[in-house]
Amino acid sequence: MIPLLTLFLAASFDLKTGVDYLVVDVRTREVLQQQWTDAGAPIPVGSLVKPFTALAYSGNFPEFICRGAADRCWLAHGHGRLVFRDALAQSCNAYFLNLAREVDPATLAVVASKFGIPAPAADTAEARIGLGKEWRISPLALARAYAELAARASESRVADILAGMRTAARNGTASALGRDSIVLAKTGTAPCVAERNHRGDGFTIVLDPADAPRTVLLVRVHGVPGAEAAKSAGHLMRALRGTQ
């Protein structure tokens, strides 16, 4: 196990109340570190489901012009013309809603099963990209699903997803990890289902290092969007590296 102590984390950075995390070994899928109550309980995880919907899409990934709010994207003024890699890096809802409408639910169920996660409870494009509460996955199963993604890096469709995650860490929604972070990452924002209901929960998942991931770090921060949660993930990632 990685000898990461709460005392060490407290000395490394200001760990906010409401930060949950777990670390999984990519090769063995074992939990190396965990500060997450009920990590086996399914919860909404927002845009962290988008890679699995992408895997269920048949055909070549399209180009798409995001017009922002008019296309139901989180970025009001829009992302403009996007290819898949950049759409994933920016977590463009408009792009992925367009993609999800063409995804066969049976195919998505097969993909989900292959990665050890449940399929969405609702048969809608919105649920397939993590909008709302209808696709719930336990944090532990999700971290292991991303470990499986890393293990399948040689598959062309997975390689496209990992390339998008690399861009997300460099200059996408996960850029708050820090410019020196050579990792793969994805962010998400989801409705909070905790007893003390926050305005939303931010998630960041990190595969480290980028070229041959050995660990998966999943972080949740109550009351902030995913891009903000990446700051806490960056601090945790550096603390983990310092204790290995």
Domains of the chain: 6-243 (3.40.710.10)
105: amino acid identity, one letter: P
Phi-psi region of 68 (alpha: psi -120 to 50; beta: other; left: phi over 0): left
- Determine whether 219 is exposed, middle or buried from the number of CB atoms within 10 Å of its CB (0-12, 13-18, 19+): buried
**Low-confidence stretches of the chain (pLDDT beneath 70):** 1-17, 179-180, 195-197, 243-244
pLDDT at 244: 56
pLDDT at 197: 66
3-state secondary structure of 82: strand
3-state secondary structure of 74: coil
pLDDT at 7: 39
pLDDT at 51: 98
pLDDT at 17: 54
Q: HSE-up of 221 (CA within 13 Å, CB side)? A: 20
Q: What's the gap between Cα 57 and its chain centre?
A: 18
Please report where in the chains the tokens 């990934």 appear, as a residue. 61
Phi, psi of 199 (to 5 degrees): -70, -10
pLDDT at 178: 84
